[in-house]
Chain A
């Protein structure tokens, strides 16, 4: 039972353009969300978080949007850079203890 879904396994974007990665969830009790980036042979690296009391959080080139009614969140990267090429995971939690992860979206930023 996949409670967090990333329906796009891959995404290619030109350098300098916007990358939009999407994530959907099914559990309405989820109230805290994370985005992670993962390079091959490394553990996931935390990018940005958002709690359900907000609908937007920004950190530099990264912005996460949360639409609670649609149970949808998205990560925007502007401008995209070749170093952003990695697999991106979204994760959600209802308790802050156990996080449920999506299956990831592989982003390729083309120079």
Chain B
């Protein structure tokens, strides 16, 4: 297993277009998270899944954003009618949810992110 994979690495889109990102977590991890990071800031939580269930969503996740994890494996994040303010790095992370396991070296494992630029 090579870790958390995100595709694409970079996406440039025109304002008003829809975009979709994909995240493939570490295979044995049952939790998957989406974060957004803008320049000069730390990652901000968007949403997370345990298996296929979306358990929590941030108020940052407007109705233009939707995330799915249909089979409890990979996840997609779609942004509809993109705006320039959506330009950011979108990070995916996964973890094996077990309170004790999260104490180990693994922690969360992040992917390399998808950098979105809305022009």
How many whole Å from A98's CB to the nearest CB in chain B? 4
- Measured between beta carbons, the chain A residues less than 8 angstroms from B51 are none
**Residues of A that sit less than 8 Å from B by CB:** 4, 32, 34, 36, 41-46, 48-49, 51, 59, 89, 91, 96-104
Counting residue pairs across A and B whose Cβ atoms lie within 8 Å, the total is 60
Contact assessment for A101 and B107 in the assembled complex, using a CB-CB cutoff below 8 Å: no
* CA of A42 to CA of B105, assembled, Å: 19
* CA of A41 to CA of B114, assembled, Å: 10
- Measured between beta carbons, the chain B residues less than 8 angstroms from A99 are 43, 45, 108
Contact assessment for A43 and B42 in the assembled complex, using a CB-CB cutoff below 8 Å: no
- Measured between beta carbons, the chain A residues less than 8 angstroms from B106 are 46
| 5 new A-B contacts at CB < 8 Å, known A59-B105, A96-B102, A99-B43 | A46-B105, A46-B107, A91-B42, A98-B58, A101-B43
Contact assessment for A41 and B112 in the assembled complex, using a CB-CB cutoff below 8 Å: yes
- With A96-B99, A97-B56 known as contacts, the answer to whether A89 contacts B108 (CB < 8 A) is no
Contact assessment for A43 and B113 in the assembled complex, using a CB-CB cutoff below 8 Å: yes
Chain A CB within 8 A of B110 CB:
yes
Contact assessment for A44 and B43 in the assembled complex, using a CB-CB cutoff below 8 Å: yes
Chain A CB within 8 A of B67 CB:
no
Chain A CB within 8 A of B74 CB:
no
- Would you list which residues of chain B between 12 and 61 have a CB under 8 Å from chain A? 40-45, 48, 55-56, 58
Chain A CB within 8 A of B79 CB:
no
* CA of A96 to CA of B100, assembled, Å: 11
Contact assessment for B111 and A34 in the assembled complex, using a CB-CB cutoff below 8 Å: no
- Would you list which residues of chain B between 61 and 119 have a CB under 8 Å from chain A? 91, 93, 97, 99, 102-103, 105-113
How many whole Å from B2's CB to the nearest CB in chain A? 13
Contact assessment for B48 and A98 in the assembled complex, using a CB-CB cutoff below 8 Å: yes
Residue from the list A32, A43, A100, A101 in contact with B4, Cβ < 8 A: A43
* CA of A99 to CA of B107, assembled, Å: 11
Contact assessment for B111 and A49 in the assembled complex, using a CB-CB cutoff below 8 Å: no
* CA of A4 to CA of B45, assembled, Å: 13
How many whole Å from A41's CB to the nearest CB in chain B? 7
* CA of A59 to CA of B93, assembled, Å: 22
Contact assessment for A51 and B112 in the assembled complex, using a CB-CB cutoff below 8 Å: no
